Chains A and B, each alone.
Chain A
Amino acid sequence: GDSVTQMEGPVTLSEEAFLTINCTYTATGYPSLFWYVQYPGEGLQLLLKATKADDKGSNKGFEATYRKETTSFHLEKGSVQVSDSAVYFCAFYNTDKLIFGTGTRLQVFP
């Protein structure tokens, strides 16, 4: 069935380090792909999205490219900040519903 697989966390980095959080999906067709972020004590917020193959979504220095061949949508950031500490969720739409991964916790230390 449809599913999202994310790398397990926590991911622990020093400030200004390079970030990659892997995401692969299993879906019928070519769905729109999303990254959501959840800061401590808050609801989820859309971070970025891509709606078709080879699209690159970007926001706040984060990027992810829709790779149809590898069914992947990896999240990257060149230089993380302490304020990026949060849980990151990869997701895609299946008809009416968003299918979420289990989330990856990122901890950034000064």
Chain B
Amino acid sequence: NAGVTQTPKFQVLKTGQSMTLQCAQDMNHNSMYWYRQDPGMGLRLIYYSASEGTTDKGEVPNGYNVSRLNKREFSLRLESAAPSQTSVYFCASSRDRGTYEQYFGPGTRLTVT
């Protein structure tokens, strides 16, 4: 059981380049989330998808777009990367919205130069 998988694990971009971070879960979860983790700031929610076909902004959505491709997959796109987007990105999923435990992927370490 793979749980939550993310690709790539590491990425270096130049300012202005675009890329898509991929996330997939095999637990038949309804809800999926994208976070970024920065030193001293904990985890901040970028976007989430409470159920297939819906997406909503989190705390720090500017500069990002998301697509809930199907129930399993939730991608995060940076259209024009900026150095401020250098961070570790985590995808997570949960059975449903509300009080359920979230399961996290291993993370993608992104550096924008």
Contacts and interface: CB of A to CB of B under 8 A. Distances in A.
A34, A41, A96: most-surrounded residue (chain B CB, <10 A): A96
Given A43-B4, A43-B105, A103 B42 contact: yes
B31 interface: yes
Contacts of A41: 106
Nearest to B106: A43
A42 B88 CA distance: 11
For the side of the interface on A, what is the size category?
20 to 34
Contacts of B50: 96
A42 B106 contact: yes
A8 to B, nearest CB: 9
Contacts of A98: 33, 43, 45, 102
For the side of the interface on B, what is the size category?
20 to 34
Interface string B40-71: 11111100101000001010000000000000
A41 B37 CA distance: 12
A71 interface: no
A44 B90 contact: yes
B42 A101 contact: yes
Contacts, number: 52
Interface in B80-110: 90, 92, 97-99, 101-107
Interface of B: 4, 31, 33, 40-45, 48, 50, 56, 58, 90, 92, 97-99, 101-107
19 contacts: A31-B99, A41-B106, A43-B4, A43-B104, A44-B43, A44-B102, A44-B104, A45-B104, A49-B101, A89-B43, A93-B98, A93-B99, A96-B31, A96-B56, A97-B33, A98-B33, A98-B45, A98-B102, A100-B44
Given A42-B107, A44-B104, A102-B40, 20 more contacts: A42-B106, A43-B92, A43-B105, A43-B106, A43-B107, A44-B43, A45-B104, A46-B101, A89-B43, A93-B98, A93-B99, A95-B98, A96-B97, A98-B33, A98-B45, A98-B102, A100-B42, A100-B43, A100-B44, A102-B41
